[in-house]
Amino acid sequence: MADKLKILMLEDQPADAELAVEALLKAGLVFSHTRVDIRDGFIAALEEFRPDIILADYRLPAFDGLAALAIAVERAPDVPFVFVSGAMGEEFAIETLHQGAADYVLKGHLSKLAPAVNRALQDAEERRRRKEAEAKVLRSNAELEQFAYGMAHDMRQPLRMITSYMQLLEAGLGDRVNAEQREYFHFAIDGAKRLDTMLLGLLEYSQIGRLGEPPAGISSRGVLDQALLFLQPAIAEARADVRIEGDWPRIFASPDEMLHLLQNLIGNALKFRVAGRTPQITVRSEIDGKAWRVSIADNGIGILPEQIGRLFQVFQRFHPRTSYEGIGIGLVLCRRIVEHHDGRIWAESAGESQGCTFIFSLPAVNEDLEEP
């Protein structure tokens, strides 16, 4: 914003405009101004004069203050708009604020005009700085994601070379390798493979919301059925009892991301089961207010309540690899998918061996979505 303010006045009475100017000058403001009283002049001034702030009367013979506010919100959303009117009821004044006005001042109390202008300008400056900071964070996040993707992608090739040459070396040495040395080979190869799997998980994490299918109107039950189909071998192996409950609405979401989300959560319920206990898994869907809510409840190993906060952090493991496979990124991917759809995800558990329930909630949408 320049040192000298530029004030656009929407006012059909020159005398009233002069009184407002005098009040601002008396308060020490330094500014230039232009006055208009018709729609075309107002639009032209927004484009050519490019004001720092707009002071507008509510009623004009050929133009309406609310119409001017709507134009300003659309064409100059960062320019504060202050009503300066002869009469304005409190209810109407509050409505103007809801529609985007920064403030309002009665013409009979012009001593309040300069403070109102200063507040509006300060608020606009704070909003501008906040937007710049948010844009900077978004750019930084995008750059970090691209960097992580590039690094993870490029590092997988030398890791595969390490694994391959270690295996070739072990095979070439043959009987000259004793049991202890063979164990060292196993540790090295296994470590390289696990690191490659972790890099693959990072690649998948960085691609959510960028390379997946675009959001579309889809059947949530159809996506669930597809996830269960893919999980059928694991369900059969665990001899799990999987129950589907509730109403499964049409949703607006990325089909492959929703499939990945449900498959991951149900897969976790199958994996983290108690030995000797038949897995009981209940998948329930419901509309809760304006949200679509899905819960996956199991009777598995559970988790201590004080550790639940760590569940959705990268590479967090709670059990040895010898007991349960995985690298600790599956739930992080689930969180990323849910947040990409403007939702939230959480877990509940009474403690170890007492099962766990994962719940995610997404904004509900119109059920009349067209078939993809």
In a domain, 334, yes or no: yes
Residues 163 and 256 in one domain: no
Residues 228 and 359 in one domain: yes
pLDDT of residue 25: 94
Which segments of the chain does DSSP mark as H helices, in order?
A: 14-26, 39-48, 65-75, 90-98, 113-173, 179-207, 220-230, 232-238, 255-271, 330-340
Would the pTM of this model clear 0.85, i.e. be above it?
Answer: no
pLDDT of residue 210: 61
pLDDT of residue 1: 44
In terms of residue numbers, what domain contains 187?
140-207
Residues 254 and 352 in one domain: yes
pLDDT of residue 370: 43
In the chain, how many domains are there? 3
In a domain, 272, yes or no: yes
Residues 228 and 163 in one domain: no
**At a CB cut-off of 8 Å and minimum separation 6, what does 161 contact?**
none
Contact, 55 vs 11, CB < 8 A? Answer: yes
Q: ∠ CA 131-121-104 to the nearest 5 degrees?
A: 120
Residues 98 and 233 in one domain: no
Residues 229 and 359 in one domain: yes
Can you give the CATH number for the domain in which 270 is found? 3.30.565.10
**Residue where a domain stops, chosen among 181, 207, 233:** 207
pLDDT of residue 327: 47
Tell me which residue of 359, 338, 364 sits closest to 217, measured CA to CA: 364
Residues 351 and 222 in one domain: yes
Contact, 63 vs 42, CB < 8 A? Answer: yes
pLDDT of residue 62: 82
Distance CA 136, CA 117 (A): 29
Residues 117 and 240 in one domain: no
pLDDT of residue 4: 83
* Residue stretches of the chain with pLDDT short of 70: 1-3, 141-153, 201-203, 205-212, 314-328, 365-372
Helix, strand or coil for residue 298?
A: strand
Residues 176 and 227 in one domain: no
